Amino acid sequence: MNQEEQIDILAIGDMVTDAFIRIEDAAVHCKIDNTACELCMSFGDKVPYESVEEIRAVGNSANAAVSTARLGLKSALIAAVGNDLNGKNCLETLAKNGVETGYVSISEEFPTNYHYVLWYDVDRTILVKHAPFTYTIPEFNVYPKWMYLSSLGESSMAFHTDILDWLHQHPEIKLAFQPGTFQMKMGSEGLRGVYERADFLCLNKEEAERILGLPTTDIKILLEDLAKLGPKIIIVTDGYNGAYAYHHGDMYFMPIYPHTPFERTGAGDAFASTIVAALARGKTIEEALLWAPINAMSVVQYVGAQRGLLTETQIKAFLTKAPNDFVPKRIN
C-alpha cells in the first residue's frame, strides 16, 4: 500500500500467535443460572490433549484488519512483534491477507505475544500474556478514515492518552472501540475520553455489565447507560441469543444467522469489524446488522478467528438464503 493512498481502517492493538490445544478430559461447572462457568481438569495430574494447532497473526485488532481487508477495504495494523520466528510468521500472515504491515514495529527486547487456547467442546479458555510493547502513532501523508482500537496490554494507559490527543487533532477520523480485557479493567472512568470520542462501540453483554458495574440487567438499560458514556453507535452481542444495537435513540434486535458452531473464537471480532466495514462503505446501521451475523456465523465453522472470514460477495450470497425473520427489529 502506497503511503499516499488513504487507509480505510487503521487497527491498533496487540497481535499474538494462538496455540489451540484441544482437550476432551475436562468438564464445565456452572451456577444454576448457567453463569460463572469454570473449566475443570484434574489437578496435579497428566491431562491428555487431542491436538494442538498454531494460528498466526490474531488478536482483536489483527482479526479486524484481516476482516476488513477481506471485505475489500484498505486496512493496516499498528502492533508490535518480537524479532523472532513467531513475529516473522505473523507479518507474513498479515501480508498474505492483504493487510498493510508497515506500521508493525519489531522489538529487540520482548518476544512476540503467544497465547494458549484451551479448546473444549465449542468454546475456549485463553491463557494470555501481553508483552509491554511501546507504541506510537506514526506519521501519515494521508490520514485514515477510521481507527479501530481494541486489545492492548496493561502498560498501555499512556498510549491511550496519546491516541486521544491525536484524534482530537483529527476530528474527521472516526473511532471504533472494541475493548479488550485490560481496557475493560480500566473501567468506563479510566477510559472516559475514549468512550466519549467513539463513533462505534461493540462489546458483549457480560462485558457491558462489567464496564458499567451493573449486575445482569435488562438489555435496554445497558444500551441506555452505555449511550450516556458518549458513543454514537453501540452494539451489544449476546451469543446465540443475537445482538442489539443503539443509534440516535433507536434500539434494534438482530437474530443470529442459523448455524451450529464448531469453535467460537473470533465471533465477536467478526461481528464488530463487519459492522465497521459496512459503515465505512456507507451502509446504514440496519444494512450493517444484516452483514455482521453472517460473518460471525462463518468464522465459528473453523478453528481460529480468521479462516472463516468472508468477502462481500460471499456475505451477499448467504443473505439470499437467509430465513424471513433474519432482519433487524426495532425494540423501542
pLDDT digit string (tens) for 175-205? Answer: 999 999 899 988 888 899 999 999 999 999 9
Check whether 33 has a pLDDT greater than 90: no
pLDDT of residue 22: 95
Buried b (16+ CB within 10 A) or exposed e, 286-305: eebbbbbbbbbbbbbebbbb
pTM of the model: 0.94
Residue 127's CB is within 10 A of a number of other CB atoms, namely 11
Q: Stretch 209-233: mean pLDDT, rounded?
A: 92
Residue 60 backbone phi and psi in degrees, to 5: -50, -50
User: Per DSSP, what are the bridge partners of residue 174?
Assistant: 146
pLDDT of residue 3: 59
Q: Which of 110, 51, 102 is nearest to 86 (CA)?
A: 110
Check whether 232 has a pLDDT greater than 50: yes
* C-beta separation of 130 from 113 below 8 A: yes
Tens-digit pLDDT profile for residues 41-67: 999 999 999 999 999 999 999 999 999
Check whether 71 has a pLDDT greater than 90: yes
Residue 213's CB is within 10 A of a number of other CB atoms, namely 10
C-alpha cell at 216: 445482569
pLDDT of residue 302: 96
Q: Stretch 120-134: mean pLDDT, rounded?
A: 91
Distance in angstroms (rounded) separating the CA atoms of residues 102 and 94: 11
The residues near 325 (Cβ < 8 Å, ≥ 6 apart) are 255
pLDDT of residue 58: 98
C-alpha cell at 271: 461481528
Considering only residues 83 and 155, tell me which one the structure prediction assigns the higher pLDDT: 83
Among 47-51, 121-125, 205-209, 284-288, the minimum mean pLDDT is found in 121-125
pLDDT of residue 200: 98
Distance in angstroms (rounded) separating the CA atoms of residues 278 and 274: 6
pLDDT of residue 122: 85
pLDDT of residue 1: 47
pLDDT of residue 35: 75
